[in-house]
Every structure is written in structure tokens, then in C-alpha cells.
Amino acid sequence: MEHIPVPEELIEEAKIFQHDTPLVKVIPTITKEEGVILTKDNKYFGIVDKRCLVKSLNLVNENQASFKIAKRVPLINSSTSIMHATEYMYLNKSRLLPYERDTIIKGALKRNTLLRIFLSEHLLSAFKVNDFMTTPVIGIDVNATLAQAKATMKNYNIVTLPVINQDRLVGIITLTDMLVYSSKIPERAPPFRKSDINRAKVSDIMQSNVFTISKNSSIDDAIRSFVEKNISSLPVLEGNRLIGMLTVSDILRGVIKIGRKEHELVMISGLDEETEPYKEDVIKEASDLVNNISQLSGIEPDYVSIDIKHMKGNRFEIKARLYTKKGVITSSYNGFGLLEVLKEALDRVYNMAIKEKSLLISEKKNIGRIYEI
């Protein structure tokens, strides 16, 4: 798949809005589809999907312009390979990638379409759910309020929470559930009506009929569930016990890992004409980080991703993510000089790895918490 281009026949229609369209007019489309594309002066501006909404999570009276929470993901075209599209979708945590032909946006490659490709190519047929699932589980107590659920989603940048009652899975709540619930309150309702949303209990709107999967099920079975049920996560059970979560992001990550050669330890996004000549230097610095962390007891690194944002002049912002067997360590830094900023970001990742600060995140004061297994 490294050299197989994305077939244009797989590109689907996508809703396109002007960048300054009020978010309240965009949200209904986002709840039904993967996301929307924004344009400005008939040129691509960015996308808004559920991940963007998580970052704001101001679910009522969203009269602000859509561009304020939009993110810019790469445009793809007839020369983009399926593997690169998978990497773009994974690194940007996006649900769709706009497709351009002759400078005109023709539609988008949607996440479920990629999943169907993985199934048809049998890319993950040899693997079990246990190989890719995430643990420990971030969940929410059944007695928590929607305000606490929103805060938990925002803190962990997730859109789905399993609902726990005395260590048992009793339901699931998604960002879509909260968006739909909040839309039932009229826009001009008095303030006390709007505050009722945040005081409502998770148990009031959670889905009690939860789709789950066994840790011994095949990854292909999980992908079929994602596609056929149009969901993005599956609680993983061992008997009746919740032991992990499997998400579409876990699937994308697995495909990328399998599609890469063993010696490839680095994924880079954001290079432009000015920074492309530094690609080998970036790879060397990041590879050295992985090799150094491999020497640390108890930490097993898989690879590192480097996201480069070229700001004005010689100023850069770099986000470095180290993927390990136990979790993800993330650091970002901005300043002047590409390699200088890169070294500082990587040094921060290394220091965090030593202190093991971000392998397990725990917020004891929040009802939304990690459930140890």
C-alpha cells in the first residue's frame, strides 16, 4: 500500500461550508457524518470534525464561526498513496481527508472507507483485539454529570467514554450523545434551562445497549463492527470484566506499524519546500531518541512521530509523540530554528520518559478516571 494511490472512485461527497459559517449550523451535519470541509474564497481552509468539537466542548449556543475550531489536515490527490493517507488521518486524528483535483475539492476520503480497504486487503487478519487494544481504560462513573463527562473528554481528547458502575460496564456515552441532547434545548431558552444540560446525569443519556468485543476476537471482526455499526470504539471484555478499549485510531496505528519497515522508527508530517532538505537530520535526531529510550528499563518504544508547523520566518512549532507499549508521551515546543526546536522537543520527551510522567495519566479528583485493570 506504500505505492498504491487512493482510487478516485473511493472518494465520497462531503459537505462544504464557508469558513465563517456559525458552528451551530455545522454541528448537525457533524453528528451525522465524519465531518465537514471549510473553504475561504473558494479555496480549502480546513475541516471540522468531532475531534475539533472536543477541544471546545461548548455544546450550547455555538454561534461562533466554524473556523475558530477548525484544523487544517493535508489535501490528498491522485498521487497520494493509501499508506500516506492512513498516516495523515492517524497523525491528524481526523475522520476525513479532502480530495483535490485540478485545484478543486471533489469530496473526501472518509475513515470508514479506509477500514473497508484494510478488510479487503486482509492487512490485519493475523491479529487479535488483544494485540492492539488500549489499556488502562478511561471511563466515567454512572453518577457523574455531563459537565464532568465533557471535562474528561476534553482532558483526554477522546469522544467516547465507557460508563462504569462499581467496576462494571453499564453503558457508553459519546460526544454525539451530548450534542444531540443539548440540541433539544431551544437556542433562546433561559439560562437556567441551559445549565440543566451540565447538571444532567450521564445515566440519563448514555447508551445502555453497548457493542463490545472479546480480547480474543480477530481484528477483522472489530473492523466489521466499526464499519457496519458506524462506531469508533469498542469496549474489550474478558468474561464480564472491562479490560481495555479498541478504537479506530488503534487500527490505523496498527496498519502503519505493519506497513513500515522494521528500521523505520520515525513518522514526519508538515515538511514543506524549505524544510524538506532537513528530513534526514530530523530522522536521525528522532531515531537517536528512540534508541536512547530503548535503554531505559521498563519502557519499550515503538516509534516516534514528528509534526512540524512552519510559522512565520524561521519560527517553528514541533509536536513530538513517542509511542510505547504502555502509552504515548507527547511534548511540544516552539521557537526559532528547525533543528533547535526539534532538539528541545525531543529532550522534553526524553525527560518525561525518564520520569514516567505521561505513561499513565491519573486524575484522582475527577470522576472521569483511568480504570486500572
* Alpha-carbon 317 to chain mean position: 20
Domain holding 184: CATH number?
A: 3.10.580.10
pTM of the model: 0.71
Residues 71 and 187 in one domain: no
For residue 52, name the pLDDT band (cuts at 50, 70, 90).
Answer: confident
Report how far residue 231's alpha carbon sits from residue 148's, in angstroms, rounded to the nearest whole number: 23
Residues 43 and 134 in one domain: no
Residues 238 and 274 in one domain: no
Residues 249 and 266 in one domain: no
Domain assignment present for residue 180? The answer is: yes
Residues 228 and 322 in one domain: no
How many domains, the chain?
Answer: 3
pLDDT digits (tens, 9 = 90+) for 86-98: 988 988 889 999 9
3-state secondary structure of 81: strand
Q: Is the dihedral of CA 14, 19, 22, 27 positive or negative?
A: positive
Residues in the chain: 373
Least confident piece of the model among 6-15, 25-34, 61-70, 343-352: 61-70
Residues 50 and 136 in one domain: no
Q: Are 46 and 73 in contact (CB under 8 A)?
A: yes
Average pLDDT over residues 329-346: 92
Domain assignment present for residue 118? The answer is: no
Residue 218's identity, in one-letter code, is: S
pLDDT digits (tens, 9 = 90+) for 106-161: 999 999 999 999 999 898 999 999 988 888 888 999 999 998 998 888 887 788 99
Mean pLDDT of the chain: 84
Residues 20 and 107 in one domain: yes
Res 307: pLDDT: 87
Report how far residue 334's alpha carbon sits from residue 165's, in angstroms, rounded to the nearest whole number: 43
Q: Which three cell numbers stand for residue 320?
A: 513530538
Torsion of CA 197, 200, 201, 205, to 10 degrees: -60
Q: Are 112 and 118 in contact (CB under 8 A)?
A: no
Domain assignment present for residue 367? The answer is: no
Res 192: pLDDT: 40
Least confident piece of the model among 58-62, 213-217, 260-264, 310-314: 58-62
Q: Which three cell numbers stand for residue 255?
A: 496498519
Residues 247 and 137 in one domain: yes
Domain assignment present for residue 368? The answer is: no
User: Is the pLDDT score of 340 beyond 90?
Assistant: yes
Could you give phi then psi for residue 214, rounded to 5 degrees?
A: -85, 150
Residues 195 and 104 in one domain: no
Residues 271 and 248 in one domain: no
Q: Is the peptide bond before 136 cis (omega within 30 degrees of 0)?
A: yes
Of all residues in the chain, the percent with pLDDT exceeding 70 is 85
Report how far residue 212's alpha carbon sits from residue 196's, in angstroms, rounded to the nearest whole number: 31
Find all residues with CB under 8 Å of 173, minimum gap 6, and list them.
Answer: 140, 149, 160, 161, 163, 202, 205, 206, 207
Least confident piece of the model among 69-83, 241-255, 315-329: 315-329
In sequence order, what DSSP letters do the residues of 252-281 get, joined into one string? Answer: HHHHHHHHS-TT--EEEE---TTTGGGHHH
pLDDT digits (tens, 9 = 90+) for 165-212: 988 899 999 988 887 787 665 554 444 445 566 788 999 999 999 999
Domain assignment present for residue 194? The answer is: yes
Range of the domain at 244: 129-254
